[in-house]
Amino acid sequence: MTAPRTKASRQSEPDCSIERFLLVFSDRWSFLIMREALMAGVERFADFQKSLGIAPNILTDRLERLVAAEVMTKRSYQEPGARTRRSYHLTQSGKDLAVPLAALQQWGDTHKPPRGGPSVERRSPSGDLVRVGFLDEADSPVSQEDLSFVASAHRSDH
């Protein structure tokens, strides 16, 4: 079934998945918070603040956006004698951001290399360096030159 589409509805909810991603990742802080969560396992509000040097009000706002976008869930925890504090935990959707974030990191490592070399490496359980790349339905690698972007044939069928 084809849902009715108006120009207004398309603008508020873009068709393009890259644009939909950018609605969640509105600025660099969102990327950096997700980097800390995915690559360094940070969960506690105070730990995000410490590792990023971010103002608490901005951190609160960006974390709330990530919760609203369902890439994180918020919990409360309390240590003996302390007040209740907040921690943030990746959902499956949040964990799946490891692919685009690792791909951004790989691009930066290759084309905008930091002076001292990459600060973080991606490793497999056997210690291999891991790259982000393209795989076909049989999990065989597909080279970038062989990849085509095509308009979806099923676009208006459902």
* Residues numbered 134-153 forming contacts with a copy of itself, rule: CB under 8 A: 134-139, 141-142, 144, 146-153
Q: Which two tokens stand for residue 142?
A: 């597909």
Among 24, 54, 59, 67, binds a copy of itself (CB under 8 A): 24
Q: Which of residues 48-67 bind a copy of itself (CB under 8 A)?
A: none
Question: C-beta of 113: minimal distance to a copy of itself in Å?
Answer: 8
78 within 8 A of 84, measured Cβ to Cβ: yes
Q: Which of 120, 127, 123 is nearest to 39 (CA)?
A: 120
Structure tokens at 78: 């309390």
Residue 73 engages a copy of itself in binding (rule: CB under 8 A): no
- At 152 the three-state DSSP class reads coil
Task: Closer to a copy of itself by CB, 83 or 111: give it.
Answer: 111
Which of 132, 89, 79, 100 has the alpha carbon at shortest distance from 25?
Answer: 100
Chain positions 101 to 120 lying near a copy of itself, rule: CB under 8 A, are 101-120
7 in contact with a copy of itself (CB under 8 A)? no
Chain centre distance of CA 88: 14
Residue closer to a copy of itself (CB basis): 9 or 64: 9
> Shortest distance, CB of residue 34 to a copy of itself, whole angstroms?
9
**Residue 43 in 3-state DSSP?**
coil
